[in-house]
């Protein structure tokens, strides 16, 4: 043996090294690799669930926005309809009030005309009576001035009564 190399010792050390390497491979490397793969798969699954949740949230937001826009449009239509109905009711009330005012005015005018006719007839009757009285007194010979003054005072009393 030159250089004092023992090949048997080298081969035994090499065999020990291979056994150590195989043991460490099966004891440490495979479980660590398995753990790392499981961890990576967990993160990938969590990421996919997060993406799905985000997509669901976006779909929900879009659906909510669409429903909100639809509700806004419906509210605007209902508001417009309510305003039109209120305006129509207001116009109807104004028309009824104008009709009532016209009827009231017409009734008042008719009543005033009737009252006017009654007063005229009464005045004509009073005038006939007074003229008849004046004519009778004139025929009898009473003073016409006294009779005329009596006529005027009777006319004033008639105006005071109305």
Q: pLDDT tens, 67-119?
A: 999 999 999 999 999 999 999 999 999 999 999 999 999 999 999 999 999 99
Q: For 113-155, how does the pLDDT look when each residue is reduced to its tens digit (9 = 90+)?
A: 999 999 999 888 888 887 787 777 777 666 667 767 777 787 7
Do residues 155 and 161 make contact, with C-beta atoms less than 8 angstroms apart?
A: no
CB-side exposure of 137: number of CA atoms within 13 Å?
15
pTM over 0.75: no
């Amino acid at each position: 043996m030159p250089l004092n190399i023992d090949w048997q010792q080298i081969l035994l050390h090499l065999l020990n090294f291979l056994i150590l390497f195989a043991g460490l491979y099966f004891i440490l490397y495979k479980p660590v690799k398995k753990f790392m793969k499981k961890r990576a798969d967990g993160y990938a699954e969590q990421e996919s669930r997060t993406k799905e949740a985000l997509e669901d949230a976006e779909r929900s937001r879009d659906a909510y926005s669409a429903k909100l826009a639809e509700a806004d449009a419906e509210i605007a239509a209902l508001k417009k309809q309510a305003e039109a109905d209120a305006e129509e009711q207001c116009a109807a009330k104004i028309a009824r009030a104008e009709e009532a005012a016209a009827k009231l005015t017409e009734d008042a005018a008719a009543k005033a005309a009737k009252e006017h006719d009654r007063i005229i007839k009464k005045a004509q009757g009073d005038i006939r009576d007074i003229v008849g009285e004046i004519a009778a007194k004139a025929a009898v010979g009473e003073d016409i001035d006294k009779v005329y003054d009596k006529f005027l005072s009777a006319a004033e009393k008639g105006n005071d009564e109305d």
